[in-house]
């Protein structure tokens, strides 16, 4: 029987975060029951307006692009340059288990929100800071978006392509969303560690650090001669690459043991004439004759539509799937059946199919998907929870400390 108590219920997080990586990490925690208080200046997180670059609405009543990382949070607007505003911020942190930010370190120090200042005052606090490139080295002070610090600097943008192709352009925020998983796992580990020690800790990560980890197989293999970007006419495994089919769509076949499935695939593809050909029958030999082999296989795949091939290849227990399109993912029956997509109705009245946090617990119900709202939507509620009176809240709002 499932319970309404979620696994992180009782944990409080104060987020002074912008864009994707930090807000995405705390979105996980919010879905798992933590109270996440997102602190914004009166203009709001810049990510609130980025949706317009991606053809999405950006109003307070309908901002799906921003909601993706910020659903299920509480929003408070604070002027941190205002003395009373900073007082509210410190009151929030006093009640928090976790403080997390991607504001650059000099700015945090100037405000008195650096680790040394806060840990002295709140020794049990888990302090989380995220950067573009880390704290040391020639680029430590540089700002970094995921397109530059994650995809470009790591080599993924230039190496995850066929030789001579235009550099790979990732989906907006995809690198940030990826590293958020590492960031969130570190936070959970720190919370577990605090149970044993009773002490908080400083926890940090960066776009470049995470990209280096995710590109680990390339980091290692290039030291032994593996070459990127790949020549599309000379793949290292011709049964581990994409093929275009008769209907113009593509499939991806994923074979680890080339030698073991070569004969079966030749039969399926109608290539009986090369089934016993020693030039192609092993991974070692086919690499020596790849220029002869690739046109034969490509021509074979062009004889039938993609979905026909995907079904036939799957039937012989070889991993294969369609190369799909993002526009179709929100209606993908597999994604829908497993709850990876959820319809969310915004205050505007429009329903949008939104990706869901892809973790399911047997003992806990999935939370509601509460859209983001205006800057400071929950300011009064959050301040009341901290013990502020109605009179103080009214005065702080009038004085410009909070929104």
Strands (E), 194-255: 201-206, 242-244, 250-253
Judge whether 277 counts as a catalytic residue. Answer: no
Q: CB of 6 within 8 A of CB of 32? A: yes
CA separation, residue 232 to residues 58, 139, 295 (Å): 40, 34, 11
- Long-range contact list for 134-141, CB < 8 A, 24+ apart? 134/204, 134/206, 134/208, 134/209, 135/105, 135/204, 141/104
Spatial CA neighbour of 132 closest among 50, 45, 18, 228: 18
Distance from C-alpha of 8 to C-alpha of 5, rounded to nearest angstrom: 8
Could you tell me whether strands 74-77 and 98-101 are parallel, antiparallel, or unpaired per DSSP bridges? unpaired
397: Cβ contacts below 8 Å, ≥ 6 apart:
379, 403
Q: Hey, how many other C-beta atoms are within 10 angstroms of the C-beta on 245? A: 20
Helix (H) or strand (E) holding 321: strand 320-322
Q: CB of 41 within 8 A of CB of 111? A: no
Q: CB of 260 within 8 A of CB of 242? A: no
Distance from C-alpha of 111 to C-alpha of 98, rounded to nearest angstrom: 18
Distance from C-alpha of 22 to C-alpha of 130, rounded to nearest angstrom: 7
Spatial CA neighbour of 100 closest among 16, 184, 157: 16
Our measurement of the distance from residue 263's CA atom to the centroid of its chain's CA atoms, rounded to an integer in Å, reads: 40
Three-state DSSP class for residue 137: coil
Out of 61, 176, 231, 305, which one is annotated catalytic?
176
Q: CB of 266 within 8 A of CB of 272? A: yes
What ranges in 95-243 are assigned the alpha helix state H? 105-111, 115-121, 153-154, 156-159, 174-197, 207-214, 216-221
Q: Which backbone phi and psi does 386 adopt, to 5 degrees?
A: -85, 0
Give the catalytic positions in this structure.
176
């Amino acid at each position: 029987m499932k319970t309404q108590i979620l696994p992180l219920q009782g944990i409080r997080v104060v987020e002074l975060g912008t864009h994707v990586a930090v807000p995405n990490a705390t979105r996980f925690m919010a879905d798992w029951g933590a109270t996440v208080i997102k602190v914004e200046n009166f203009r709001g997180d810049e990510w609130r307006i980025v949706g317009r670059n991606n053809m999405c609405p950006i109003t307070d009543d309908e901002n799906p692009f921003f909601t993706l990382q910020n659903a299920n949070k509480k929003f408070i607007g604070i002027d941190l340059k205002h003395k009373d505003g900073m007082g509210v911020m410190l009151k929030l942190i006093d009640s928090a288990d976790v403080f997390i930010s991607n504001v650059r370190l000099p700015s945090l120090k100037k405000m008195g929100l650096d680790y040394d200042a806060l840990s002295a005052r709140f020794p049990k606090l888990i302090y989380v800071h995220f950067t573009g490139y880390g704290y040391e080295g020639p680029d430590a002070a540089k700002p970094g978006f995921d397109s530059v610090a994650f995809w470009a600097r790591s080599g993924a943008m230039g190496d995850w392509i066929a030789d001579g192709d235009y550099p790979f352009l990732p989906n907006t925020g995809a690198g940030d969303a990826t590293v958020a998983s590492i960031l969130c796992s570190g936070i959970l580990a720190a919370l577990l560690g605090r149970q044993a020690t009773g002490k908080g800790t400083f926890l940090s990560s960066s776009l470049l650090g995470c990209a280096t980890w995710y590109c680990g197989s390339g980091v290692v293999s290039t030291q032994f001669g593996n070459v990127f970007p790949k020549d599309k006419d000379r793949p290292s495994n011709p049964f581990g690459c994409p093929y275009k089919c008769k209907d113009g769509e593509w499939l991806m076949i994923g074979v680890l043991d080339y030698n073991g499935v070569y004969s079966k695939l030749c039969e399926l593809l109608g290539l009986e004439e090369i089934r016993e050909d020693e030039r192609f029958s092993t991974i070692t030999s086919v690499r020596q004759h790849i220029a002869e082999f690739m046109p034969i296989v490509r021509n074979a795949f062009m004889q039938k539509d993609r979905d026909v091939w995907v079904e036939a290849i799957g039937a012989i227990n070889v991993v294969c799937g369609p190369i799909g399109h993002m526009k179709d993912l929100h209606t993908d029956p597999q994604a829908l059946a497993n709850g990876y997509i959820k319809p969310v109705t915004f205050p505007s009245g429009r329903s949008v199919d939104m990706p869901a946090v892809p973790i399911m617990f047997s003992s806990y119900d999935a939370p509601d998907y509460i859209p983001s709202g205006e800057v400071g939507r929950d300011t009064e509620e959050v301040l009341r929870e901290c013990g502020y009176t109605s009179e103080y809240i009214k005065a702080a709002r009038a004085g410009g400390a909070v929104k």
